Structures are given as C-alpha cells and as structure tokens.
Amino acid sequence: MTIDDLVAHAAGLLPEQGPLQAFVHHNTLHAFEHLPFTDAVTRAAEVFGTEPYLGEAAFHEFLASGRITPDDLDAVVAAEVVDDGVPVVPGGPTLRRFHEVRLRHRVEVPRGPALHWLLAETDAVDAVDPRWDVLRAAAPGPADPPDRPRPRDRVLAATGVDPDHLVHPLLIRFTAAFLDQGVAAWPMPERDRGLLAAFRALYGRAGGPPEPFLRGLAACLREHGDRPADQTVAWAMDELEVSEEDRGAVVTATLLSLRGWAGMVRQFESRPDRAPVAARPARLVDYLAVQLTLDLFAARHVRATAPPADDVAPLPGLELVYEAFALARLMDVPLADHDRASTWLGVVDGCDEVERRRLLHLAYERRHRVGVLDGLTAHQRLAVPAGTPAFQAVFCLDEREESVRRHLEECCPAAETFGFAGFFGVAMNYRGLDDVRPRPLCPVVVTPRHTVVEQPIDSGRAPRRLRARWTRSVAVGSRTLVRGSLASVALGVAGLASLVGRCLFPRAAHRWSHRPAPAVPTRLVMEFSPAEMTDIVSAVLRTTGLGLGLAPVVLVVGHGSSSLNNPHESAHDCGATGGGRGGPNARAFAAMANDPTVRSGLAERGTLIPEGTWFVGGYHNTCDDTMTYYDEDLVPAGLVEPLQAAKDALAEACVLAAHERCRRFESAPPDLAPEDALAHAEAHAVDLGQPRPEYGHATNAVCVVGRRALTRGLFLDRRAFLASYEPAADTDGALLASLLAAVGPVCAGINLEYYFSFVDPAGYGCGTKLPHNITGLIGVMDGHASDLRTGLPWQMVEIHEPVRLLLVVEATPQRLSAIVAANPVLERLVSGGWIRFAAWVPERDEVFVFQDGAFQPHVRERTAFPVVARSVEVYAGSRDHLGCAHVLAEADVPVPVP
C-alpha cells in the first residue's frame, strides 16, 4: 500500500466532527459501522482506549433501583446464552444459570498490587480452602504484552520518558496557527502553500527555537527542500526503523495520538466548504509528515539523554484466579482437580467484564424498550381522534418539540400537529439580511443547489454600524499595547459594570446589552423553479398526511437555539438543517405553499390546497421557548384573527413546555410556578455563568414514524422523535422509504453521539465544559494546549440514558424488510443493531421487534398506564425519566400516577 492509502485508511478512524460553528450530530463510531454494534464498541474500545458501555457499578445501581429488573436479566441471558442443561463442572451451575447468578452479583476484583496486598495482608482468601490452590495451579500464565509498533511507545517503554510530551505542544501550536480562523492578529506566513511547506518555511530557517530536541531540525528541513509529503513520511518511518509491515499500524497510531487535531486537518481537507471563515489548504499527509519528522527528532533526543528505565517484572495474572475463587465460593462449586479448575477458570473468563457489561446493557435497554412499546400499544386503544382542526402546526420531528406539540394539543384540542424533518424539504444555501456569507440549511448529506437570500422590502440607507465597529475596536484593541492601556484606564469602570451585571443580574444585563434594533421588513428571494417548489410542498403534504384536510391556518415551525457561554451552541440547533436554525426553511416552505403557481401545480397532481388556507412560517427557540413568526403582513385579512388565536395557543404551549423542561434543571425549584418557567428558561439562555443553557437532545431514545392520531395524548417525556407518516397515502411504500432514508440515519446519529459521549465522557465526549478554551474559532481544548476535543460536553449529556434508538414505524414487517433491504445505510444500522427497529401494525394491535435478523412479535408485559388530564400531573415534582402515561383531557376519572 502507498503512504496515501495508509493515510486514507487511518483517516477513517479520526473524529468526523467539523468546526464547531455548524455542529452535525453523527455516529461517533462511523468508522466501525460495518460491524455489529456490540462488536464495534469492543473493537473501538481497543483502538481508542475508550469504554464500550456504562461501567458495571452503574448497572448494579440500576439493578438496585429497579431500573433493570431480574426479569430483564433472565430474558437477556435466555436469549444470549445457549443452555444444554449440563453443569459446566460437576456439582456446579449450568452455563445459563452461571450467567444469571454472575450478573446479579458484583465481585470486586482488586487489580495488580492491590490484589497482592489483599492476599498478603488480609484474610480475604481462606487459606484452608483447597480450591484456592487448585485454581492457582490451573491459572494460565500472564498474557503477552500487546505489540506496539509505534516508535514512541518503544521509547517510552525503554526510558520512561514520553517523546509525545515534546512533540505535541509544538504540533498543537503549529496546527492551530495554521488552521486559525481569526483569533490571532497575525496570520501565519506561507500558509497558502500548505501545512508542510509552511512548516518548512518557518522552522527550516536558522536561529529557530533552541529546544534541545529540535537541534538539527532546520538543516534537515532545508535538505528536504520541496520533497513531497509522502516521501517525507516514508523517510521518517525508515529513520525510525519502522518495518514495512508495521507502517500501517504506525501511521494509524501516530495520527490517533492527537486525533482531534488530525481529524480537524482532515475535515479542512475533505470539506473546505465547512470552514467557518476561510478554507486552508490542509492535507492530512502534510500533517503526518510534520508529526513524524518531529517524532523522529524527539525519539532520538530522548534515547540519547534519558537513562533507561527500570524493568518492572509483570506480576502473574492472579485477578482471574481470585475472581474464579470468589465465584466458586458464591455458587458453592466443588473444584476437586486440575481439569475442573481449569474449566471453571475458562467459564469465569468467558463472562469477563466486557461481556457482563454487554449483557447488563441489553437488559437495561430491554426495560426501556418494553416500557415504550407497551405504552404505545396501550395508548392506541385510548387515543381520541381529533375533530375538524381549527389550525394545524408542522414542527420538526425533533424530540424537544414533542412536549410543545403535546401541550398545544392539550391547551387547544382543536389543534392538529405534524412532524417532519426540520428543513421541510427546502434544501438551500441561505443568506439572511445580516449574514456575511451564505450557509447551507439542509441535512449534511444533501448539497443544496439553490440560494435563498433575505432582502429588505425598502432598500433604505445602509445601517451605520457604529456600535459594532466600537465593539470590534475594543475587543481587538484591548489586547494590544497602546490601545490596550488606553482601554484599561478608560474602560475599567465599564468592565466592572459588565461584571456586576453578568455575575449578579444576568437577564437584565443581557437585555441591556442586546437592545433589539428596529426590525426591517424583509422578504425571501428564492431561486427555486415552480416545479421544484411544487415537489417540495407536495412531498411534505403527502408524507405527513397534512394534505388530507387542511385547516385555514397552517403554522410551519422550524427551530434553533441561542445561548451564551456555550461553544457547543450549534449542537443545540436543528440537525435536519445541518446544525443551523430552521426558521428560514419554515419561512421558505410557507412562501412556497402560498404561491398560486405552486398551488395550481399541486391541484394538477391531485393535492388541493383550499382557497381559504394560509401557511405561516415560524421559528421556535428551544433554549428560551420563544416564538417568532414571518411574513405576517401577507396574511389575508380574514385569517388574521384565527392566526392570532393559533399564536396565543402556541405561546401558552411554549410556557407549559418550558415548565416541563425546567424540571430537569436542578436550579429550578421542584414547585416552580408555570408562569415563572419562561423566565427561568431565559435565564439559562442568556447567563454567561450557565454551562447548561438547555439539555438539547439528552434523554432521546425513541423515534415513532406514523400517524399522530396514534400517539396524540401519550406522554413521551420529550424523549421521542415524532415523524408524521400517513400510510393511507402511501400505497407502494415509496414515501416511507424516502422518509426512513432521512429519519433513520439522522436520529441514529444524534442518539449514538449522545450514547458515546455519555458512556465515555473523556474518551468520546469532550469532558467537562468548565476549562474549555476556544481555539482558532474551530473547536475547544481542555485548558492550555491540549488535543482538540470532539464529541459532546458532559454538561450537555449528564441526564442522558444511554440506550440505542428504538425506531417504531407504523408499517408491516414485510414492507419494512423490503425498504431496509433496498437501502444499504438503513440495512447496516438495522441489522448491525445500531438502532432497534420495530414494526407497528395498529390495525392488528401488534408490534414486531427486529431481533437476530427477523421481526419477532413483542410480548406485552404491562397494559395499564396512568391516565391524567394534563401533562403536569405526570411530571410534577420529579427530575427523573418518566414512563408513558395517557394525557386525556376527556378522562372522567383520572387514574393517578403511581
């Protein structure tokens, strides 16, 4: 394989996250998606040194609290462990029984020296028990140390000094400066010639940094001249004495040693269009050439200067013996001879920690899955179909909108809601009135072909922008020598006032500093042809079933999130718009649906939009639960009042949704009054000291694709993506196929990103936000000069429940099997178990869960759920995850929440 092939292979393992301005949720383990989920997490744990599942301690807490029941354990063991009815050793349990007991008991096995201490100093092991000696005699020898071909690992093992501690600071400094989007006042010279050329130009000059390990670097770089990067890589590996067959492993391990930065270089290489300010000619192979060159100098330096480390003899592997001994005592297994002891050790080893965590994880997921499926099927019999709607509202399918929709239907039973991917089919490059450059507003997999520009109706005088210029000169000038001193002397009082405001009165300070400018009336200028617009509107109307009976007023609501002190702000935005804010998409969709030519085109295709129907676009800020509406001046006079009524109902729903959401914030008192909820939410959004502006997608776990009538009035605890799908309009399954092709991967991406960032906040997530340091306007580091941290911060995921997405689709198993088989991406997600897939056939009152390659009927465990009149009765006073409940305003005798 050529160097480029090796780099391309290693690049697949690097984080896929681009610059933070547009955060796109994706499967953290995208590189392992060809494997089944459980294999992938184990394999990735080996490659990255991360955690595959939650820790055993966490699962045992769930067992104690009843979140996992003994039935779940037994069901999982029955499905996963074959049982031939024969004891594993004479007098011992069967394999299945062994697993059942093993999973219920946590055996603390001290590691290494701790175990030796335990054996030597305590009576944890009974000396007279003969099983100990038998087991010790039968114990396998210590495992061979893993083969580490990377030269740095060998140097570290030989000397105890890590050459990466020399290389990484310089490499981070240099790469950050190369990619910088505008933090530094001085741009890097020679940057346009590429990363390696810039490195040679800067560090190839004499008189460079006098660091001892860099001695000779300048001469070496000059000697290389303009040698291509792959030749430099090959040269460096030869000098490091890497054998031909180890090259691939060394390239991978080297790039993974600083994977955040390497991944960002790759992002700039593969998606230059996603650079927030300016693309840089970055190439991963250039970066690798720089890293290996520095590795070479560091390795030589360390070998030459550091004394050899003392060899520590590996201790024999007593952990397994201790565990087997403890279990033999627990299960009362006689181990008379060497063979039996050896078998027993094998059985114990077969149910090692990763295996136990896998089984416990399956049990944990099972409890959740059964609860949701039982809730859905139970609700189907109680759901009350809506009458003729007074108005309709189309939301994003985002699980955060679930509560808004539910509350809207509760407040206003005459309202009907729908869910569709939040770009509403409008894939565009959008440039708002104030935007400096257009940005795509559509799923990342789509490349928009059209640009939509927001323009003022009256092109008046250009704004003077004095305040912005003043802000810029203070921000830049205060860091310089002369202007900085003037600013310090003159603006110290202003700094103090800002501190007082921001620390003590965050809401007032924000309102004062963000006095809204008078709004300029604008319109969207769209490039779409009438036929394209008709396609877009038609697809939404037909898929959701909205077209079956349109109300006079139809609200189309996109969403986004605005917050301070939050480098990950855009991770709270709408995933369907590629980490952007979906308001403009909703506005464009409404404009299209109101267009007379589009309406006549639709009529030709058999979808009639009545004369008296008007679409209004809106924007829901999920962080402070405010609503904005667009183009209200175009609303026909007769619909102004119905629109006002709809807006009032939605405003009330927003208040109640904010109230429901606030229960998750420990900062909100448990008895928070509904009228105070908006203020509390706003305080979270505008407070500089608030690392939890909102909890975003945390707790997401379910996606239901089907008619809203089936789930209307079902309390799903803001945990379910809800996509509207009308099977009646979809005779051949084509609409469902295209819906699932979009919904499946997007929701799975969000769900899996939260899963991994939660189970290993340091390895997959970016850890706690508190020391985060924004670098180059592209990402965050932990404090000073660390690797670029990818994934989600702990404060965003801390309340998550790491379960795989349960995708429930209202369709027959046959239809779903056909759709999945025809779509390789879905096929990989479903058969690899990256999502749990269920077919819901309400007519026959059946649910089938995809398991082991086939749809298997779901057996109901619970049929009765609480019935309440309002959602607040379910969630009041609780901060935990809540199960399903029926919210039926018409219920005569509410059944209280148990």
Partner 1 sequence: MTGVLIAAVAVPFGAFLLLGLVSWVDLPLGERAVSAVAVLSAAVSAGLLAAVATGGPLRVPLGTWFDGFPLVLAADGLSVPVGVLAGLLGALIGAFSRRYLHRDPGFRRFHLLLALFVAGVQLVVLAGTLDLLVVGWELTGLASALLIAFFHRRRGPVVHGLRAFATYRLCDVGLVGAAVVAHHGGPPLAVGLLLLWGAMGKAAQFPFGGWLPRAMEGPTPSSAICYGAISVSLGPYLLLRTAPEWSQAPAVPVLVVVVGGLTAVHATLVGRAQTDVKTSLAYASTTQVGLVLVEVGLGWELLALVHLLGHAALRSAQILRSPSLLHDHHHLEQALGEPVGHGGGSWQRLVPRPVRLWLYRFALERGYLDAVLVARAAGAARLVRRCAAADDGLVRRLAAADDGPARAAVAR
Nearer to partner 1, 94 or 478 (CB): 478
User: Would you tell me the crossing angle of helices 482-504 and 466-477 to the nearest 10 degrees?
Assistant: 110
Give Cα 802 distance to the centre of its chain. Answer: 11
Residue 81 carries which DSSP code? S
Minimum distance between the CB of residue 462 and partner 1, rounded to whole angstroms? 8
Nearer to partner 1, 30 or 467 (CB): 467
d(CA 281, CA 283): 7
d(CA 336, CA 135): 10
Q: Which of 266, 150, 261 is nearest to 786 (CA)?
A: 261
Nearer to partner 1, 467 or 860 (CB): 467
Minimum distance between the CB of residue 766 and partner 1, rounded to whole angstroms? 13
Nearer to partner 1, 401 or 454 (CB): 454
Q: Which of 643, 210, 659, 629 is nearest to 404 (CA)?
A: 659
Looking at this protein, which amino acid is placed at residue 351? C
Minimum distance between the CB of residue 697 and partner 1, rounded to whole angstroms? 19
d(CA 383, CA 714): 8
Task: Calculate the alpha carbon distances from 88 to 96, 130, 350, 620 in Å.
Answer: 10, 19, 12, 60
Nearer to partner 1, 468 or 734 (CB): 468
Minimum distance between the CB of residue 616 and partner 1, rounded to whole angstroms? 25
Nearer to partner 1, 506 or 883 (CB): 506
- Contact call for residues 248 and 47 (beta carbons, < 8 A): no
Nearer to partner 1, 12 or 209 (CB): 209
Nearer to partner 1, 93 or 776 (CB): 776
Minimum distance between the CB of residue 668 and partner 1, rounded to whole angstroms? 12
Helix (H, G, I), strand (E, B) or coil at 476: helix
- Contact call for residues 485 and 463 (beta carbons, < 8 A): no
Minimum distance between the CB of residue 265 and partner 1, rounded to whole angstroms? 14
Helix (H, G, I), strand (E, B) or coil at 617: strand
Minimum distance between the CB of residue 352 and partner 1, rounded to whole angstroms? 26
Nearer to partner 1, 142 or 783 (CB): 783
d(CA 302, CA 299): 5
Looking at this protein, which amino acid is placed at residue 496? L
Contacts of 407 (CB under 8 A, 6+ apart): 652, 653, 654, 656, 657, 660, 871
- Contact call for residues 40 and 755 (beta carbons, < 8 A): no
Residue in the structure block whose two tokens are 């997401």? 700
Helical residues (DSSP H) of 687-803, grouped into ranges = 708-711, 734-759, 794-797
Nearer to partner 1, 290 or 324 (CB): 290
Nearer to partner 1, 465 or 605 (CB): 465
Minimum distance between the CB of residue 60 and partner 1, rounded to whole angstroms? 20
Nearer to partner 1, 643 or 778 (CB): 778
d(CA 757, CA 750): 11
Nearer to partner 1, 132 or 199 (CB): 199
Minimum distance between the CB of residue 302 and partner 1, rounded to whole angstroms? 13
Minimum distance between the CB of residue 770 and partner 1, rounded to whole angstroms? 4
How would you class 105 by CB atoms within 10 Å of its CB: exposed for 0-12, middle for 13-18, buried for 19 or more? Answer: exposed
Q: Copy the structure tokens of residue 486.
A: 């003037």
Minimum distance between the CB of residue 11 and partner 1, rounded to whole angstroms? 23
Residue 146: other Cβ atoms inside 10 A: 7
- Contact call for residues 684 and 693 (beta carbons, < 8 A): yes
Minimum distance between the CB of residue 162 and partner 1, rounded to whole angstroms? 10
Q: Copy the structure tokens of residue 561.
A: 């999130």
Minimum distance between the CB of residue 27 and partner 1, rounded to whole angstroms? 24
Helix (H, G, I), strand (E, B) or coil at 637: helix
Residue in the structure block whose two tokens are 């250039």? 286
Q: Copy the structure tokens of residue 314.
A: 């590996």
Rg (CA), the chain: 30
Minimum distance between the CB of residue 54 and partner 1, rounded to whole angstroms? 18
Residue 465 carries which DSSP code? -
Give 12's strand partners.
none
Minimum distance between the CB of residue 121 and partner 1, rounded to whole angstroms? 19
d(CA 795, CA 786): 20
d(CA 543, CA 417): 14
CA dihedral 29→33→35→37, nearest 10 degrees, is 60
Q: How far apart are the first and last CA of the chain?
A: 64
Q: Copy the structure tokens of residue 47.
A: 């490659």
Side-chain-side CA neighbours of residue 583 (13 Å): 19
- Contact call for residues 314 and 221 (beta carbons, < 8 A): no
Nearer to partner 1, 484 or 894 (CB): 484
Nearer to partner 1, 30 or 469 (CB): 469
Nearer to partner 1, 696 or 866 (CB): 696
Task: Calculate the alpha carbon distances from 746 to 445, 545, 707 in Å.
Answer: 10, 22, 20
Minimum distance between the CB of residue 2 and partner 1, rounded to whole angstroms? 32
| Torsion sign, CA atoms 661, 664, 668, 671 | positive
Minimum distance between the CB of residue 434 and partner 1, rounded to whole angstroms? 4
Strand 885-887 and strand 714-715: the pairing is antiparallel
Minimum distance between the CB of residue 177 and partner 1, rounded to whole angstroms? 5
Nearer to partner 1, 2 or 459 (CB): 459
Nearer to partner 1, 77 or 218 (CB): 218
| Torsion sign, CA atoms 95, 100, 103, 106 | negative
